[in-house]
Amino acid sequence: MTENPLAHRLDYTLDELDDGALTASPLALLRRWLDDASDLPEPNAMVVSTVDAEARPTSRTVLLRGVDDDGALWFFTNRLSRKGRALAANPSVSILFPWYALQRQVIVLGTATPLPAERDDAYFASRPRGSQLSAWASHQSEPVASRAALEEQMAELGARFPGDEPVPRPPHWGGYRVDAREIEFWQGRPSRLHDRIVFTRDDPAGEWAAVRRQP
């Protein structure tokens, strides 16, 4: 008989997050956990959830590209994509780092605002050439007739910017900074009596307050 994968249960075994975590900097703790995840595939992958103008939630995985000292996380995307349109309608976001292999997760709640053009330009210039071309070729989230049609769009962009010619940043492509107002650190513990340490602040320039929540 085939084992039912839904019946599998993992016994979490991590040590306790002691009360000293309540007095720590959430940014320092986030950076430490990111370092701890560095051996995982795509350790900076995060699930970004948005709500559009019709109050419909959607989630997708993007890559964290930086954490500012003031507590803002930033990522890049096509601003005409589904997520970009949702953020234009409602800038509130939820971010999840799902580090299952480490028995940890981090949830960040905050507000997204577009990054300045100079930061967009600097990051776009650092991308591999193929990624630069695909930012032009892909009308992200829009229907496409076939994979062949998508490849044809890419080939046309290769002809438009041949050889080593610099590829400019598309005007619709750029980054967002998410100013965190809440950061929750979750760590698996035996008997499902998990640890949850939550940091909150009233505004991006405010002080963090920490509390332990029941699992």
Which domains, ranges and CATH numbers included, belong to the chain? 10-127+171-212 (2.30.110.10)
Residue 58 among known ligand-binding residues: no
Residue 65 among known ligand-binding residues: yes
Residue 19 has pLDDT above 90, yes or no: no
Rounded to an integer, the average pLDDT of 182-191 is: 89
Residue 8 has pLDDT above 60, yes or no: no
Ranking 7-21, 43-57, 120-134 by mean pLDDT, the lowest is 7-21
Using only C-alpha atoms, the chain has a radius of gyration, in whole angstroms, of 20
Q: Which of 1, 15, 7, 22 lies closest to 188 in space, CA to CA?
A: 15
Residue 56 among known ligand-binding residues: no
What is the model's pLDDT at position 30?
94
Q: Which two tokens stand for residue 77?
A: 């995307």
Please tell me which residue in 192, 201, 212, 213 is annotated as part of the active site: 192
What is the model's pLDDT at position 12?
65
DSSP H helix total and E strand total for the chain: 5, 9
What is the model's pLDDT at position 73?
96
Q: How far is CA 140 from CA 24, 78, 135, 147, 175, in A?
A: 40, 7, 8, 14, 15
Residue 24 has pLDDT above 80, yes or no: no
Residue 62 among known ligand-binding residues: yes
Q: Which of 54, 63, 59, 49 lies closest to 93 in space, CA to CA?
A: 49
Strands (E) in the chain, as ranges, are: 45-51, 57-63, 66-67, 72-78, 92-99, 104-114, 173-187, 195-200, 209-212
What is the model's pLDDT at position 144?
84
Q: CA–CA separation, 58 vs 187, rounded Å? A: 25
Whether 160 is catalytic: no
Q: Each residue of 143-163: pLDDT tens digit?
A: 888 999 889 988 988 888 888
Residue 32 among known ligand-binding residues: no
Q: Each residue of 66-116: pLDDT tens digit?
A: 998 888 999 999 999 999 999 999 999 999 999 999 999 999 999 999 999
Q: Which of 49, 37, 34 lies closest to 96 in space, CA to CA?
A: 49
Length of the chain: 215
Taking a C-beta distance cutoff of 8 angstroms, is the pair 42, 34 a contact? no
